[in-house]
Structure formats: C-alpha cells, structure tokens
C-alpha cells in the first residue's frame, strides 16, 4: 500500500475507523489522508449549506487533532470535498492506497434495504477498502484470509500474511468448499467422491500458501479446509479474528456483481474488521 485514506464524518464508527486507519498507517510507516465530504445543498438556503460545510470542516480539524495527539509519527493531511459521498470517497483513494471507512452492519443477510454507503463505496472504489464496524474488541486473535486459488485471492493472502506477521498473529487461511450445484441435493453422494473433491480442494489451499514461509519465516500459518458456504464459514472465523481479508471477483453493472457475491455479503454484515481487495488494487 502507498497511503491510507480514511473517511471522516464525526460518528462513533467513523472515529473507530480513524483510529484503525492511523494505527495501520503507523505500523506500515505510511501517510494518512483524512477526507470529509459535503453533499450538495439540494435546494436548501445558502446559509444552511455554509453551516454544513463549516461543521464538516470542524469535524476534520477534530480528526486531525486526534491524529496529532495519538499518532504523532503519522504524516497527516486533510481534505474537505464536495459531491456525492459514494462517488467522491470511491475516487478519493488511488488504486495503490487503502481506503478505510466506518461500517454499519446489517443484522442479517438478505434484508430488502438499500446497501449502506460504505458498501456502495467499496463496490465503486479502485483501491482496497477496509470496513471497520467498531473498536477492535479484546480477545480477538489471528488474521484470517479467504482462499479460493484465484489471482486476487493470492494477493489477499500476501496482504494478510504480512499483516499477521507485523502483528505477531497467526495467519488463518480458510478455504471453504461445497459440492457442485448439480450434486448438492443428490442423495447419497459416495464417500469416495467427496474424498476426491476434498483432496483437490486441499491442494488448492496448499498451493495458494506456497512460498509464504520464505517471505515471513516466523509466521504461524494455519491451514483451514472446511466444507460449507464460504460466506458462513468466513463470517464465523471473522467474528473472532483481528482482521479478515478477502479478494473480490466483482464485475458487471450491479452492486452485488461489482463487489462479488461473497465480499458483498460480508460487507453487509461486517462480522469484524474487513479488508476487501479488488483485483485491480495493488497489494504489497
């Protein structure tokens, strides 16, 4: 990553995201950019628009003061921007940066409501995006990463491994697999067939982790091969991990396709600190 960009709004979750972003920047010796967005007035009287901009500026200055007070080693600059928050925040971080946002998780998947702003930003952003649902609770352990053998998954593994190594935490490399759709409801599926599929999936996991010991010789790596829905299994491990990193296979014109089905579902529920790495984002 080249820099850390964090969205600032003054809410409690925004402040939690700010502290997480500054901690990440400090640990990686990166500069941090604090960004606040003022929405268009939309017919309001000019005085209201001026007051809104003044309030946003005050929030930014409070965030700057927090950074200088608690993270003095981190170079910080602030930007007050105008426009639609989703579009502006998505464009605020270049492809090589990490964009950090406070997240408002939904209670469960499948709710017929509009996706939160943070999820829409994550879908539109060129950069890797960290969604932070609150302060990191004591007792969380490990840096988890979703593994599926794809190129973006390999990038996610590298990012997660270096973060785990930096934090002195184990890397929890999880590969969840399911029977092919045509077989899912078949009764019964022979044990030898399941064993053969599981052996192939175990190979995907093992090959994805080759070479990590060379770049991170002291890193503890836990191979976790599980059968089940990837979203469910990743959510379970993320609920106790310090961080979950996933790659996004997003494409197309719709939000769920832009972000990818697994990362979209995780972004909606945010079981813990979550980094979504886009294929076009540079992870290093």
Q: What percent of the chain has pLDDT over 70?
A: 86
> Are the beta carbons of 250 and 259 closer than 8 angstroms?
yes
Token pair in block for residue 257? 């396709």
pLDDT tens by residue, 227-267 = 999 999 999 999 999 999 999 875 444 444 445 688 888 98
CATH code, residues 139-284 = 3.40.50.12370
What mean pLDDT is predicted for residues 9-36?
96
Q: Which CATH superfamily is domain 1-135 in?
A: HUPs (3.40.50.620)
**Is the confidence at residue 123, as pLDDT, over 80?**
yes
What whole-number distance in Å separates Cα of residue 266 and Cα of residue 60? 29
Domain 1-135 shares a fold with domain 139-284:
yes
On whether the CB atoms of residues 259 and 209 are closer than 8 A, the answer is: no
- Per domain, the residue ranges of the chain are 1-135, 139-284
What is the distance between the alpha carbons of residues 43 and 63, in angstroms, rounded to a whole number?
29
pLDDT of residue 283: 39
Q: How many CA atoms lie less than 13 Å away from 100 in the CB half-sphere? A: 26
């Amino acid at each position: 990553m080249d820099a850390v960009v964090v969205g600032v709004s003054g809410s409690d979750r925004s402040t939690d995201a700010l502290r997480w972003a500054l901690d990440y920047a400090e640990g990686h010796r990166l500069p941090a950019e604090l960004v606040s967005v003022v929405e268009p007035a939309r017919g309001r009287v000019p005085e209201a628009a001026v007051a809104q901009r003044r309030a946003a500026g005050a929030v930014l200055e409070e965030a700057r003061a927090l950074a200088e007070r608690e993270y003095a080693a981190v170079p910080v600059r602030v930007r007050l921007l105008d426009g639609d928050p989703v579009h502006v925040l998505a464009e605020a971080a270049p492809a090589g940066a990490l964009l950090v946002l406070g997240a408002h998780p939904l209670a469960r998947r499948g709710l017929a409501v509009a996706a939160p702003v943070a999820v829409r930003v994550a879908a539109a952003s060129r950069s890797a995006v960290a969604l932070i649902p609150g302060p990191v609770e004591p007792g969380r352990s490990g840096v988890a990463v979703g593994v599926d053998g794809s190129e973006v998954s390999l990038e996610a593994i590298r990012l997660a491994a270096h973060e785990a190594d930096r934090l002195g935490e184990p890397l929890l490399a999880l590969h969840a697999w399911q029977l092919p759709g045509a077989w899912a409801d078949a009764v019964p599926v022979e044990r030898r067939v399941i064993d053969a599929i599981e052996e192939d999936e175990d190979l995907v996991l093992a090959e994805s982790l080759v070479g990590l010991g060379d770049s991170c010789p002291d890193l503890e790596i836990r191979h976790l091969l599980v059968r089940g829905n990837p979203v469910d299994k990743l959510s379970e491990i993320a609920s106790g991990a310090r961080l979950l990193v996933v790659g996004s296979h997003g494409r197309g014109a719709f939000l769920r396709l832009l972000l990818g089905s697994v990362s979209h579902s995780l972004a909606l529920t945010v079981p813990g600190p979550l980094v979504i790495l886009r294929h076009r984002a540079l992870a290093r």
